[in-house]
Every structure is written in C-alpha cells, then in structure tokens.
Structure 1
C-alpha cells in the first residue's frame, strides 16, 4: 500500500512538471483501467490486489456519469479462496482546479459479488446491492491521456442461497487505486 502511494505521488509530480500548455477538453467519453489495493470486510477483513475498469461520459466540466467495476485477486488464506467484486453506476461531480488537475466525488448504486470456496467444500456465492461512494484526483497528462488516484467504497447487504453461516451479511469493499484513462 505504501509503495502504491509513493508511486502515485511520483507519477503525479512527473506529469505536473511536464504540463501541456494547450487547453484540454474534459468533456465526452472516457475509458480506462486501474490497479490498486482492495479490502473486503464482513466480520473479518481481507485485503489484496484489486483490478478495475471504468468508463463514462462527462456532459460538461463538472458533471458526468461513470460505470466502475473492480475485482480482487485471491483474498483468502491457504485454506480458503475468496474473491470479491463490484459494479457501480454513479453520477460524478468534478471541480477543475486548473487545466491539468481536478478533484471528483461520486455517489451511486452498486452490485456486489463475493465467492468463497473452502477446501473440500462447494463454492458459496454471496450477491447483493448497495451504495457506492468515491473520491479522487485526476491529472491530464496530454490532451487525451489522464491519470487518477481514487478511493472507492461500496457497502451493502449480501446473501447466499446456502445457509453455511453467513446468510444476509453486511459487506464493505474498498479500493484505493491508481488509474489511467483515455478521454475521447
């Protein structure tokens, strides 16, 4: 986590020092991916690498709609495999600090899926819906290429068709990630 933060700050500093002087257009479609630290919590807290994909449309300089999906690597131990993921659709509100930097916040709805597979037992799938929240900073590297450092948090209730202990459990999934996207 500390290495990811240091890398993100270093990249932002490099890109800020090589700022493009032309005015960037921050409206229209964008699509990108991210890599970060994902944490899933329902009683016990598990963390690991998170992979994400996002895209959206900015209607103007301050308002857009975004779809965001992130998935975890294996969050379990040597006895249990655990995987988690979310898909969220959110309105996104942006404040342009200058032509290069902006900050954003978003709130919306999300679906949650967690798969748990203990050794020698069948998979247990937990699914549900909840709320998604996110904040971050965006830096325009070129007219079309952007990097961003963001924190997304999804909370909701998940349930399973099986009754192996956790039926109707509260689930929190957070993702701190460095992303890069292309603005069309």
Structure 2
C-alpha cells in the first residue's frame, strides 16, 4: 500500500506541475479501470490486490451517477482460497478546485460477495447488500484522460445459503486504488 501511495502522489505532483492548455469539459459519460489494495474485514482481516472497473455520467460540474465494480485476487492463505467483490451504484458529488483538479465524495447502495474454498469445510458463498461510500481526488491529464486516487468502502451483512453455522456476518470491503478513465 505504501508503494501505491508513493506512486500516486508522484503522478499527481507531475501532472500538477504541467498546464492543461484548454478548458476541460467535466460533464458527460466516462469509463475506466483501477488497480489497488483491497481489504476484507469479516471475522478476520485479509488484504490483497484489488482490480476495478467504473463508469458513470456527470450531469454537470458537481453532480453525477457512478457504477463501480471491484474484485480481489486470492486473499486466503495456503489452506484456504478467499475472493471478494462488490458492485455499487452511487450518486457522486464533485468539487472542482481548478480546471485540472477536483475532489469527490459518493454514497449509495452496493451488493457484496465473498467466496471461500477450503479443504475442510468445502466451498461457501456469502452474499449480501450494504452501503457504499467513497472519497477521492481526480486530475485531468488531457481534455479526455483523467487519473484518480480513491478510497471506497462497502459495509453490510453477508449471509450464506449453506451457512455451516456462520450466518449474518458483518463485513467491510475497502479498496484504495489508483484509476484512469476516459471522459467522452
């Protein structure tokens, strides 16, 4: 996570020192991807690589709607495979600092899934719904290309059809990621 933070700050500093020649239009559709660190907190805490895809529509400079999907790599140990993922749909509120930089916040609903595969208990799928919220900073590189550093959290309760005695597990899935998107 420290390496990702250093890389993100370095990229933002480089782009902050360059001038964007034309006024950027921050409205309309956008689509992008992200790479970061995903953390699953259920009964314990597991950390691993998180991959994401996001897209949305900005109605004006300060309001938009965004869909965000992020999934993990294997979060388990040598005995257990654990995977996690979320899909969130949120309104997004943006404050334009200048033509290049903006900060945003979002809150909405999300679905969550955690899959475990273990030789002793077998396979177990946990699903549920919860709340999603996130904050971040966005930097316009060109008129259409943007990078962003964001922190998203989905929190809720997971249930399993087969349970193995483990129903209603309070879960937080967070993702700290560096993303890049194209603004149409």
TM-score normalised over the length of structure 2? 0.98
Indicate the residue corresponding to 2:20 in structure 1: 20
Indicate the residue corresponding to 1:40 in structure 2: 40
1:8, 1:178 within 8 Å by CA — same for their partners in 2?
A: yes
1:90, 1:108 within 8 Å by CA — same for their partners in 2?
A: yes
1:92, 1:104 within 8 Å by CA — same for their partners in 2?
A: yes
The 1-side partners of 2:122 and 2:77 are apart by 16
2:124, 2:163 within 8 Å by CA — same for their partners in 1?
A: no
Offset at residue 164 of structure 1 (A): 1.4
Q: Superposition RMSD on alpha carbons, in Å?
A: 0.8
Indicate the residue corresponding to 1:134 in structure 2: 134
1:19, 1:141 within 8 Å by CA — same for their partners in 2?
A: no
The answer to whether 1:100 aligns with 2:100 is: yes
Indicate the residue corresponding to 1:80 in structure 2: 80
Indicate the residue corresponding to 1:154 in structure 2: 154
Which stretch shows the higher mean deviation, 8-17 or 78-87?
8-17
Indicate the residue corresponding to 1:64 in structure 2: 64
| Deviation string, structure 1 residues 107-150 (Cα, Å, up to 9, x no partner) | 00000000011125431000000000000000000000000000
* Structure 1 residue runs without a partner (length 5+): none
Which portions of structure 1, spanning 4 or more consecutive aligned residues, are displaced by more than 2 angstroms? 119-122
Indicate the residue corresponding to 1:163 in structure 2: 163
The 2-side partners of 1:135 and 1:34 are apart by 14
The 2-side partners of 1:19 and 1:181 are apart by 19
* Structure 2 residue runs without a partner (length 5+): none
Indicate the residue corresponding to 1:7 in structure 2: 7
Offset at residue 16 of structure 1 (A): 1.3
The 2-side partners of 1:45 and 1:92 are apart by 28
Indicate the residue corresponding to 2:172 in structure 1: 172
The 2-side partners of 1:139 and 1:98 are apart by 10
What SS does the corresponding residue of 1:60 show, helix, strand or coil?
Answer: coil
What SS does the corresponding residue of 1:6 show, helix, strand or coil?
Answer: helix
Offset at residue 175 of structure 1 (A): 0.3
The 2-side partners of 1:117 and 1:19 are apart by 50
